[in-house]
Amino acid sequence: MKRYSAFAVAREAFRFHSGWERAWRSPEPKSEYDAIIVGAGGHGLATAYYLGKNHGIKNVAVIEKGWLGGGNTGRNTTIIRSNYLQDPSAAIYEKARSLYEDLSQDLNYNIMFSPRGVIMLAQTEHEIRGYQRTAHANALQGVATEFISPQRVKELCPIISLEGPRYPVLGGLWQPRGGTARHDAVAWGYARACSDMGMDIIQKCEVTGVMSENGKVSGVRTTKGEIKCSKLGMVVAGHSGVLAEMAGFRLPIESVPLQALVSEPIKPCMDVVVMANTVHGYMSQSDKGEMVIGGGTDAYNGYTQRGSFHHIEETVRALIETFPMISRLKMLRQWGGIVDVTGDRSPILSKTPLEGCFINCGWGTGGFKAIPGSGWGMAELMAKGHSPLTEDFGLNRFREGRFIDESVAAGVAH
Amino acid sequence: MLILSCPNCGELKDETELSAGGEAHLTRFGPGSSDSDFEGYLFNRENPKGVHFERWRCSSGCGKWFHAARCTATNEVFGTYSAQVTEPPQEIRDVVSAKRPGWTWRDLS
Ligand SMILES: Cc1cc2nc3c(=O)[nH]c(=O)nc-3n(C[C@H](O)[C@H](O)[C@H](O)COP(=O)(O)OP(=O)(O)OC[C@H]3O[C@@H](n4cnc5c(N)ncnc54)[C@H](O)[C@@H]3O)c2cc1C
Ligand SMILES: [Zn+2]
């Protein structure tokens, strides 16, 4: 692989950009791999990357039914933060956030990580107490956050209206080192690095069945034929229930559409991310100038990648009260992704009832921020059979009543 | 907008006038049941891409519960039926079979 650098840009400028090579190969599948990852979203690709980089397992295929990064990884609003309440969450999300800080250098691919800071608004008495509690928990966990006054919120985000008629701003939980990154670039950067290690990323190839012998996984059936493996990682977000059924087990997960929308580009007006959980909306400004807006999930199961229109209406209505200046903006696009939601709003990184088959899912509305940490932990779990990052996120926690309850901290979709 | 017809009051209702109640026809396991039955009842779900049976409440209408059969991939509604049954009635299953030959759901088809 030719490295990207300022020198490479200069060199290509002198030869009409004719020397750039493809970022990754598009091979046909081999008949057998040491490990197969199903799903080339951020989590699947990061798992493959750290399998190779940290554990030396490089005979790996990542199988994707559509195009890489075309699932939720390419559909999210890119908020990165790690201000969760419970210790196991803080560990994996903070690991991810810290890996994001130098991921561009590690991958030699600009993922445009922008630690611009994230404010979560407190708009009720209950939220004030909740976020003060989270700030204390974060202090103990070593995650830098702070509960700030309404005046400080206004300094950080001048376009906000503190005196909203329904829900005035009473304070906020501020994580200065949170922010955003370019979502496609995260998938592309990992894909390029995986391909460079000799891994095969096989796109337009759907897994249609899971093969097993004597209770142990032996491979997958795909639209490009059968492919054997001794270790299988299912990392398919909204389609986790479909894959689990192929492998013969059920999951504590329901899949629902989650929507987002962006406005026409405008001049820079907001250099932080603001989340308003009570009124259910959040907003940031992309480098192109579009206001990126996320809303709520549908109330019923669905795989339509579209979502119900009234949720968009509710989100926009709430955000206009919070940011009156956006009331005249035109919206350019709206879309949906299928998110995999668990009862305690925490992910599942786990062995499964089928030996050799592992699952990484349940990131629901907020897994973009976790991609590097999740891949790191999942790779260790697949390589060694256990990982300190993932041990609390096992499937058995539901049976044993050891929930990692983030439904308060993650009350809104993000 | 998803529109369902409430079998109790006969009205056509928008999804904003209804409350979704999740997967239908769960067998309720309580104290004394095995851990895996209890776990299955409380947490594990079919979550299919395709035919789904679910509970709804006519919350801005007559206030009563009912059942619906719907395709989660297309939002096509196969029909709605009474809340007082433990599995989908034959006429609903016939509609589903006509539109989705070979469908299964739990041990039903
Ligand atoms: C609108 C929206 C906004 C969001 N905002 C944020 C945010 O601001 N911050 C945040 O942290 N998170 C956010 N999220 C959540 C985040 O996007 C996801 O948690 C994360 O991207 C999941 O990544 P993944 O790799 O697990 O899944 P995906 O990126 O969905 O990848 C799964 C892949 O598996 C493939 N697949 C499925 N079935 C098969 C099969 N049978 N065979 C082969 N391949 C298959 C799919 O095609 C897909 O490409 C948001 C999500 C949405 C939808
Ligand atoms: Zn009714």
Sequential pLDDT tens for chain A (414 residues): 889 999 999 999 999 999 999 999 999 999 999 999 999 999 999 999 999 999 999 999 999 999 999 999 999 999 999 999 999 999 999 999 999 999 999 999 999 999 999 999 999 999 999 999 999 999 999 999 999 999 999 999 999 999 988 889 999 999 999 999 999 999 999 999 999 999 999 999 999 999 999 999 999 999 999 999 999 999 999 999 999 999 999 999 999 999 999 999 999 999 999 999 888 889 999 999 999 999 889 999 999 988 999 999 999 998 999 999 999 999 999 999 999 999 899 999 999 999 999 999 999 999 999 999 999 999 999 999 999 999 999 999 999 999 999 875 544 444
Calculate mean pLDDT across residues B95-105: 95
Question: Is the distance from CB of A62 to CB of A44 less than 8 angstroms?
Answer: yes
Cβ contacts of A399 on chain B, cutoff 8 Å: 35-36, 39
Closest ligand to Cα B64: 2
- Indicate the DSSP class of residue A251: B
What pLDDT, on the 0 to 100 scale, is given for residue A408?
59
At the fourth CATH level, the homologous superfamily of domain B17-99 is Folate-binding superfamily (3.30.2270.10)
Residue A226 CA to residue A219 CA, distance in Å, equals: 7
CATH 3.30.9.10 residue ranges for chain A: 118-180+255-342
Could you give the angle at which helices A87-101 and A371-384 cross, rounded to 10 degrees?
A: 110
Whether ipTM > 0.85 holds is yes
Give the B window 38-97 contacts with A, CB below 8 Å: 39-40, 42-49, 52, 54, 72-75
CA distances from B43 to A82, A252, A395, A403, B53 (A): 26, 5, 11, 12, 16
What is the residue whose two structure tokens read 């390029």? Answer: A192
Chain A interface residues (partner B, CB cutoff 8 A): 239, 241-242, 245, 250-255, 299-304, 308-310, 343, 398-399
Tokens of residue A149, six digits: 């006054």
DSSP A393: G
Looking at the partner chain, which of B1, B40, B45 has a beta carbon nearest the beta carbon of A308? B1
Give A401's DSSP letter: T
3-state secondary structure of B83: coil
Our answer on whether the CB atom of A414 is closer than 6 Å to any ligand 1 atom is: yes
C-alpha distances out from residue A190 to A135, A197, A371, A383, Å:
32, 11, 10, 19
Using the beta-carbon criterion (under 8 Å), do B48 and A309 form an inter-chain contact? no
Give the class (CATH, top level) of A118-180+255-342: alpha beta
Contact in structure between A36 and A63 (CB atoms under 8 Å): yes
Q: How many angstroms is it from A73 CA to the middle of ligand 1?
A: 5
CATH topology of domain A26-81+85-107+183-252+344-410: FAD/NAD(P)-binding domain (3.50.50)
Q: What is the C-alpha radius of gyration for chain A, rounded to an integer number of angstroms?
A: 21
Q: Where in chain A is the domain with CATH 3.50.50.60?
A: 26-81+85-107+183-252+344-410
DSSP H helices, B1-109, are 35-42, 90-99
**Exposure string over B1-14, b if 16+ CB within 10 A, otherwise e:** ebebebbbeeeebe
- Looking at the partner chain, which of B15, B22, B73 has a beta carbon nearest the beta carbon of A303? B73
Rounded to 5°, angle at Cα A233 from A232 and A235: 150
To test the ligand 1 pocket, which listed residue (A368, A369, A376, A414) has its Cβ within 8 A of the most ligand atoms?
A368
